[in-house]
Every structure is written in structure tokens, then in C-alpha cells.
């Protein structure tokens, strides 16, 4: 246990922060519009398996994690000043097993509980007026430009006496601009945004006698997708992203080793089951990882969608 507490104190001094692995998931067709009052319920199961890279921020080697994350989300589209807009709310739950060598001693860790809830509001500013279902059937997409704001609320499980938590105990905001361009069966998506974080004022302290404040710098994020429509609602895409920044500080002391400079690549397939249901499967892996999780991710989602308000 002495080695374990040595690790905890070292991690506290260096300001090591394990942000959720799913923060930079790939999302093709995020700015494609739907008819006004379109609704969807989505159940997603994601499995993450891979290494956790500390890059000298903590005395941990041979570290890895296996995490299962079921997610329940709701989608609704609406009319905003004549433009197409939509809102998404998601509530994830995580079950994870971590292991690694702490100063040469093998350690294992189990966590389960709610993750931070996520809310996203998006509005089209070019190429996508608000339309009902009959208008949508006659409309052909060309170039779409949209704006979005994603908010992560600190509703996840968090304990200030533990270094690894599913909740981050802070608010996070991501404004983003997205472009979607169609050429026949092909669709190209490109997004650019940045994450901004509030301070965690109850950062890790093993005895709760110290008040530690952790802050994190902004993270710039870029994402691209190339997808092809096999037939209506049946499509496949190649996905990739890159993000940069996010150095952390504890009590004003910055840890230069926590700079993130990472990218992921993957693929997604969406298949209709019937008029209301569809299945989506995606896979991604770390392409280049400087600090954070070099992991594989496999996700399967079932979606039920309908048009109009419940009667």
C-alpha cells in the first residue's frame, strides 16, 4: 500500500487527469438535417479496450482499460427562425476495469456508475431551411453549414478521494461549426470546434484535508468523414479526427506532460431495419496518441424514429 499512496501523491503533484475516453468519439453526418418534429430514441452499447498513456505524468506503466458504456439518448428536430435545428440529450453509464504497474507493483481497479450527461443543440445557417415531411421528400441536399453547442454537465459519479472517476466534476462546453456537402451518393462532412472547461474544485485528495483545484486548457478539435449512400438510410463512412491542447494544472501548477495531440480513424455503417428502426455499427482506433487513451472502440446502436408529437 505504501507504493500505492506514493503513486497517488505523485499523481496529485503532477496533476495527472484521466478524461473520459469517449470525449472524442467520431460522429458522421452530425449536420445533416431532418424534417421538423422528427424524433428518435437511441440505445447504444460501446466497448473500449486499450492502453492509457501517461507520458511521464505519473509513475504508471503497462496500463490498460476495458470499459463498457451503454448510452440512452433522445433526439428532436424543430424550427428556429425558419431554419432547421435539433437538440440531443444523452445519459451514459459505465462499467470499467483498469490495470497497470504503479512503481513496479501491479494494481487493478474497478469502477461503475453514471457518466456525465451530454446535451447538444445544433442549427443550420445555410442550405437547410426548416421543412415538413412533404417538403423534405422534394428537397435535395447540396451544401449545408451548421453551428452547434455541446454541453457536458457534471452529473456523473465522482469521488474526490479517488483519482479515476467516470464523472469529471466540472462543466464542459464545445462550440462547433460543421459543413456537409453532397455529390450524388457521396457525402463529405468536416467539423471544427473547441472544448472549454470549468475548474474542478474538488480534485483528487486522498484524505480530503486538502482543497485541490484542477483546471484544463482548451482543446481544439477537427473531424472529417467521407460517406456513401447505398440506398436511402443505408450508408457507410470512413471517419477521422484530430485534437490538440488540454494541458492540466493543479493549484496553478501546470503539467506540461499532459498536452494532448491525438487522432483517431474508423468506419461506420448504418442499416435500416424497417420504417421506424435502424441499426448502426462503428469501429475506431487511435491513429496517433501523445497523451491519453490509445484504445479500440466498437459501438452498436439501435434507433427508433418517428415523425410528429405523440398523440
Supply angle C-alpha 25, 74, 31, rounded to 5: 55
- Tell me the pLDDT of the chain (311 aa) as tens digits: 333 333 333 333 333 433 445 557 899 999 999 999 999 999 999 999 987 766 555 666 777 789 999 999 999 999 999 999 999 999 999 998 888 777 777 878 888 899 999 999 999 999 999 999 999 999 999 999 999 999 999 999 998 888 778 899 999 999 999 999 999 999 999 999 999 999 999 988 877 667 789 999 999 999 999 999 999 999 999 999 999 999 999 899 998 888 889 999 999 999 999 999 999 999 999 888 877 767 899 999 999 999 987 55
Can you read off the three cell numbers belonging to residue 78? 424543430
Do the beta carbons of residue 304 and residue 274 sit within 8 Å?
no
Amino acid at each position: 500500500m505504501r507504493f500505492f499512496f506514493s503513486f497517488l501523491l505523485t499523481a496529485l503533484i503532477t496533476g495527472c487527469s484521466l478524461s473520459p475516453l469517449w470525449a472524442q468519439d467520431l460522429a458522421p453526418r452530425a449536420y445533416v438535417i431532418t424534417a421538423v418534429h422528427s424524433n428518435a430514441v437511441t440505445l447504444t452499447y460501446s466497448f473500449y479496450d486499450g492502453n492509457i498513456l501517461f507520458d511521464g505524468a505519473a509513475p504508471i506503466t503497462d496500463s490498460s482499460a476495458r470499459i463498457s458504456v451503454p448510452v440512452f439518448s433522445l433526439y428532436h428536430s424543430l424550427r428556429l427562425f425558419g431554419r432547421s435545428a435539433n437538440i440531443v440529450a444523452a445519459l451514459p453509464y459505465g462499467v470499467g476495469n483498469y490495470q497497470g504497474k504503479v512503481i513496479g507493483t501491479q494494481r487493478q481497479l474497478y469502477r461503475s456508475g453514471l457518466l456525465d450527461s451530454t446535451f447538444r443543440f445544433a442549427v443550420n445557417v445555410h442550405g437547410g431551411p426548416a421543412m415538413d415531411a412533404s417538403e423534405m421528400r422534394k428537397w435535395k441536399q447540396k451544401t449545408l453549414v451548421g453551428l452547434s453547442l455541446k454541453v457536458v454537465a457534471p452529473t456523473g459519479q465522482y469521488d474526490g478521494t479517488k483519482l479515476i472517476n467516470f464523472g469529471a466534476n466540472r462543466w464542459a462546453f464545445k462550440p462547433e461549426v460543421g459543413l456537409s456537402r453532397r455529390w450524388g451518393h457521396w457525402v463529405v462532412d468536416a467539423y471544427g470546434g473547441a472544448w472549454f472547461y470549468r475548474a474542478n474544485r474538488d480534485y483528487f485528495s486522498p484524505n480530503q484535508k486538502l482543497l485541490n483545484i484542477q483546471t484544463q486548457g482548451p482543446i481544439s478539435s477537427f473531424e472529417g468523414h467521407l460517406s456513401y449512400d447505398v440506398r436511402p438510410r443505408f450508408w457507410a463512412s470512413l471517419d477521422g479526427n484530430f485534437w490538440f491542447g488540454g494541458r492540466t494544472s493543479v493549484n496553478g501548477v501546470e503539467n506540461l506532460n499532459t498536452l494532448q495531440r491525438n487522432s483517431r480513424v474508423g468506419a461506420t455503417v448504418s442499416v435500416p431495419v424497417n420504417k421506424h428502426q435502424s441499426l448502426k455499427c462503428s469501429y475506431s482506433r487511435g491513429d496517433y496518441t501523445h497523451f491519453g487513451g490509445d484504445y479500440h472502440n466498437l459501438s452498436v446502436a439501435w434507433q427508433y424514429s418517428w415523425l410528429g408529437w405523440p398523440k
